[in-house]
Amino acid sequence: MIGRKVWNVLGTSYWPILGGDDQSSFAWLTYDPPGSFIPPHTHPIQDEHVFVLEGEYSLYKDGEWMTAKPGDHVCWPRGSSHGYRIDADKPARGLFWVSPGNDLSSLFDELHNQASPEEVVRLSGLRNILFAKPGTSPNFE
C-alpha cells in the first residue's frame, strides 16, 4: 500500500509515494544516513530523477561527480551509469522517481531487510537494474 510502507535496503530507508503495479512511473522518498551510498548502476528502460529535499548528495553520472543541495533536480537518463553517496556528516533526504515504473515497488518489497549486497544486486538485475562490478566504474570510490 503506497504511503504506509517503509523499506530498509542496506541501511537506507525508502517510502513509496506514487505508483505501484502500473507502468507509468514510480516515486519514493529516501532517508540516507551519513556514509551511505548506492553504487553505480544503470536502468536500460527507465529514466531516474532526484529532487534534493534536505542535506547534500554527491551524485555520480558516467564517471563524473556533482554536488546536489536542497532544491536541486538531477535526471539520469536511461542507460547512464549513476549512483550516489552521502559524504557530509548529516543525513540527506530526497524525492526519487523513475519512468516507466516497471513494477519497481515489487522489487523494493523483495529487497526490504535483505542483508546481502550480492543478493540485492542479483534481485535488481532481474528487474533490469544493472549494478556495475566493483572497480569498473571510473572515479567511483
Domain coordinates in residue numbering, the chain: 7-126
Q: pLDDT-based confidence at 31, cuts 50/70/90? A: very high
**Is this prediction's pTM over 0.95?**
no
Query: What is the rounded CA–CA span in Å between residue 79 and residue 62?
Result: 10
Helix (H) or strand (E) holding 40: strand 37-42
Q: What is the pLDDT of residues 121-137, one digit of tens each?
A: 999 999 889 988 877 77
- The CATH number of 7-126 is 2.60.120.10
Q: What is the pLDDT of residues 36-94, one digit of tens each?
A: 998 899 999 999 999 999 999 999 999 899 999 999 999 999 999 999 999 999 999 99
